[in-house]
Structure 1
Amino acid sequence: MDLHQIVLFAAAVVGVSLIPGPSTLIAFAHGAGSGWLRSIWTALGNASASILQAIAASAGLGVVLAGSASLFLVVKYLGAAYLIWAGIQMWRSAARRVDMAEAKGPATMSSARLFLSGFTVAASNPKAIIFFTALFPQFLSPEGTGLGQLATMVTVVGLGSFGVAAFYCGLGAWVRELKLSRRAMSRLHKATGGVFVASGLSLVAAR
């Protein structure tokens, strides 16, 4: 891949990643609840899941998922169930988790939990593997080595996913610094939880 192709590929990955969804919303919520520095663990979890999905696509698992209806449904329903569960938990604990006056209290999550949440939410969508399977061939060049080009694209996916998630973490932390009222932040987290549930239900309904 030449520099021009890498830039185009990175633009495609970042452009898709910037679209609000469960991964960006969990990063935003963690930024608002735990601050930007700590929520970077969420971004790392998100990037780790994206890298594994990109590697799976490179290894041909995207073709397997696309060709095996039963396997795809299993992965899809497991991901949907987690999104719905996460949304319900976020809704139920909204008031407690977003109390800005008690930032050092229950709202502070451990680094491992932040990482795991970011990883699990990003990994819960099997369509990402199929997306990468469809995207990668568009940027493969016959002049270069396939393995080297795929390694470059996987690296770009990881960096792009991390950058976008870190951006949303920073956005959430910025909202945290605005010292919004407890009611406003509670509504914000409830809205985020509602989007998670809706995303899970839409994943179940998607054909």
Structure 2
Amino acid sequence: MFGTQDLWLFVVSGLLLNIAPGPDSLLIMARSASQGFKAGAAAVFGICTGTCVHILAAAIGLSAVLATSAEAFLLIKLLGAGYLLYIGIQMLRARSASDNSVGSKVPVTESVGKIFRQGLLTNVLNPKVALFFLAFLPQFVAPDAPSKAEAFLFLGAIFNFNGMLWCLFLAWSSAVASQKVQASARVKLWLNRLIGGLFITLGFKLALSRAEI
């Protein structure tokens, strides 16, 4: 279909890869646990939009440029690492509204639009994602495909849709778990800071990484 092969294996592999934890999953869990499902869903849709950018880049060959140009990879890698560090530092510096208003116990929240942009940039500025699509998708494009770009887009759409379903489930389950434990504002604040520390770790890891998948 659309010049693809082993489609069932692609779907299974994609689901397993989406389940693997990473910066995207951490952002979804952090926002869902601290602000609820709506905030987590905003992060999901931002991430999925970023994935669309990578899919289009792979289809038209921009990812190939990233794979062969050390300078381009270094630039995107440093931008991505810097953004992960920025998010991590923001989470570590997070303060509850009780620090500024007497008697209030509600944590300071981010707007849905800002969370969407965080998800988008976290995904787009990760060159490993671009290289992943360049290495993974061609394995499921038939050698005799009439349009390899069309096959790329078709496979990318399937991967992104399945990933969106998983991420929305992750957002929902994180929000429900947070409600059930009835975490206090202080607990949620320190959970945010813990995940912020993980983002800083991932930022340094990305900065020190090489171009290999």
Identify the TM-score tier after normalising by the shorter chain. Answer: 0.7 to 0.9
TM-aligned CA distance change 1:187 to 1:106, over 3 Å: closer
Contact 1:50 1:158 in 2 (8 A): yes
Q: Provide the alpha-carbon RMSD of the alignment.
A: 2.3
Cα displacement string for residues 145-171 of structure 1 (whole angstroms, at most 9, x for unaligned residues): 324322211211221232232122113
Displacement of 1:68 in angstroms is 0.6
- Give % identity: 28
SS where residue 142 of structure 2 aligns? coil
> Which residue of 2 is the match for residue 196 of structure 1?
199
Contact 1:94 1:190 in 2 (8 A): no
**Selected match of 1:150 from 132, 152, 157:** 152
Q: Matched residues in 2 for 1:94 and 1:171: separation?
A: 25
Q: How many pairs align?
A: 202
Larger gyration radius, structure 1 or structure 2: 2
Larger helix percent: 1
Q: Matched residues in 2 for 1:163 and 1:189: separation?
A: 24
> Which residue of 1 is the match for residue 209 of structure 2?
206
How does 1:159-178 map onto structure 2 within 5 Å?
A: 159-178=161-180
TM-aligned CA distance change 1:66 to 1:144, over 3 Å: closer
Query: Within the alignment, does 1:181 sit opposite 2:184 as a pair?
Result: yes
Query: Within the alignment, does 1:63 sit opposite 2:64 as a pair?
Result: yes
SS where residue 6 of structure 2 aligns? helix
TM-aligned CA distance change 1:78 to 1:35, over 3 Å: same
TM-aligned CA distance change 1:139 to 1:197, over 3 Å: same
Q: Which runs of 5+ in 2 are unaligned?
A: 99-103
How does 1:100-139 map onto structure 2 within 5 Å?
A: 102=106, 106-107=108-109, 109-139=110-140
> Which residue of 1 is the match for residue 101 of structure 2?
none
Cα displacement string for residues 82-105 of structure 1 (whole angstroms, at most 9, x for unaligned residues): 0001001011116559xx963xx6
Displacement of 1:47 in angstroms is 0.4
TM-score w.r.t. structure 1 length? 0.87
> Which residue of 2 is the match for residue 14 of structure 1?
15
